[in-house]
Amino acid sequence: MEKGKILVVDDNKSILSAVEILLQDEFEEVITIASPNQLPSLVDSTDFDLILLDMNFAAGLNTGNEGLYWLTRIKEIKPELEVVLFTAYGDVELAVKALKQGAADFILKPWDNEKLKATLRNVFKLQQSKKEIKKLRQKESVLKGEINKEKHFIIAQSPQMLQILALIKKVAATDANVLITGDNGTGKELIARELHRLSKRSDEILLTVDMGALSESLFESELFGHKKGAFTDAREDRTGKIENANNGTLFLDEIGNLPLHLQPKLLSVLQNRVITPIGSNKTVPVNLRLICATNQKLDQMVVDGKFREDLLYRINTIQIEIPPLNERKEDITAIANYFLKVYGNKYRKPDLEISPAGQAKLIGYQWPGNVRELQHTIEKAVILCDKKELTPDDFFFKPSMPGMNDLFDGTIEEMERKMIARILQKNNQNLTTVAEQLGITRQTLYNKMKKYNL
């Protein structure tokens, strides 16, 4: 069990020495100061677990008002920090007042050694319990978000996908890090969920982090967490995604978007299995299984100096490449029928079927947007159809990739979509290069890709 860090504040140096010796086996670190004037800066900059605070510092005064004042200041800086008050002048009214202002307990001088240690141990356990409850509430919130996500299943009839499912069964039983690669919309997240479902961690959380949707300024805070006051908007302690995934599986989607300067920190987590929240000097142990996914060519990013080679080795102990939908035609009809059932029930059209000619049209299309495009195509057809059967006329596909001569044709949004699609294809889905060529940020590019289903 963690032993914690305690700060002892008393103007009597003999008392400080005696308490330090008494508590050195009870706490991992005992820090002593003689003047309470140091409290604001120390409390703000250091992660103490509790404070033992004298109530009287000025000579000749025994009202306890100084202790109450500093108790209030401590609580203003860190409301969650537990404070035990220490005084030679016992007074029931003063003790009640101190407890009302947030003190955890009240100890009289001269003290009984065993009673002092027991009181501080109990307060420390209370503080640890409060921390754990707060973490559990944060994890519960994250878990609810994951539970409420729309879930789909892997539909596989093609030899390629059946081979991948067989590989998943083998890999899932281990804790090996897995890198899932493939074009947008091929179902990389479904593969990650299947790996987790079949793993020994299946009773714990699978936490998904969409790296492409995070602004660069929030990457570190989202992944590693932060302490209150660590930066301007850090109004309270926050547990990071990595810690929330403890004992479960962490799925980092679009891992290629991880900024180069944060890659060593992720590598350190994988090597040492500890994290350090922003603004903290304490490490937090983590036990998780890492699954990453990307549509980018990480090998080329390593050559270009945009991705660390040692991190790539760490995250792809096993690599699973998902083929595009047009290379597994056997899956198209089965996937279409699955989404037909999903959206038929959703839009109260449960008896819809796809005609043979409709199936042929679906199989003959190239599906540049892969399974995601097929999903949206079926949903749109179900919404608009007023018959019992979906025919070829019910399926609307996006036009083929335009050349420069026919790029500027249609609405502004259509032209923007065509331009982004063309440049994505030209640059092999390298989002950084595409964003630079378009003159926009990577986050803006990602948002537009989501908007246009690219």
- pLDDT, averaged per 10 consecutive residues of the chain (454 residues), comes to 82 91 91 92 87 79 79 89 82 76 87 91 86 71 56 84 95 95 92 94 90 80 84 79 91 92 91 90 90 94 94 95 94 94 92 93 93 94 92 80 48 80 81 80 83 82
pLDDT confidence of residue 405: 43
Cα distances (angstroms) measured from residue 438 to each of 10, 414, 433, 442: 63, 16, 9, 10
Q: How far separated are the first and last CA of the chain, in Å rounded?
A: 50
Residue 291: beta bridge partners?
178, 251
CA distance 18 to 183: 66
Q: Is 117 in contact with 140 (CB distance < 8 Å)?
A: no
Tell which CATH classification among 3.30.70.1170, 3.40.50.970, 3.10.450.50, 3.40.50.300 matches the domain 149-321: 3.40.50.300
pLDDT confidence of residue 403: 45
According to CATH, the topology of domain 5-130 is Rossmann fold (3.40.50)
Query: Which of 174, 181, 224, 215 minimizes the C-alpha distance to 195?
Result: 174
pLDDT confidence of residue 330: 94
- Placement of tokens 């065509």 in the chain: 418
Instruction: Tell me which amino acid residue 185 is.
Output: G
- Quick check: do 328-389 and 404-451 share a fold? no
- CATH architecture for residues 404-451: Orthogonal Bundle (1.10)
| DSSP calls for 401-450 | PP-GGGSS-S-HHHHHHHHHHHHHHHTTT-HHHHHHHHTS-HHHHHHHHH
pLDDT confidence of residue 179: 97
The mean of the pLDDT values for the chain is: 86
| Contacts with 35 (C-beta within 8 Å, 6 or more apart), sequence order | 11, 57
List the chain domain ranges.
5-130, 149-321, 328-389, 404-451
pLDDT confidence of residue 83: 93
pLDDT confidence of residue 307: 95
24-78 pLDDT, tens digit per residue, is 988 989 999 999 999 998 988 888 889 999 888 765 566 778 888 999 999 988 8
Share of the chain residues as helix, strand and coil, in percent rounded to the nearest 5:
50, 15, 35
Q: Is 395 in contact with 377 (CB distance < 8 Å)?
A: yes
According to CATH, the topology of domain 328-389 is Helicase, Ruva Protein; domain 3 (1.10.8)
pLDDT confidence of residue 316: 93
pLDDT confidence of residue 175: 94
Helix (H), strand (E), coil (C) string for 196-246: HHCCCCCCCCEEEEEHHHCCHHHHHHHHHCECCCCCCCCCCCECCHHHHCC
Residue 284: beta bridge partners?
275
pLDDT confidence of residue 402: 47
Q: How many Cα atoms within 13 Å fall on the side-chain side of residue 48?
A: 29
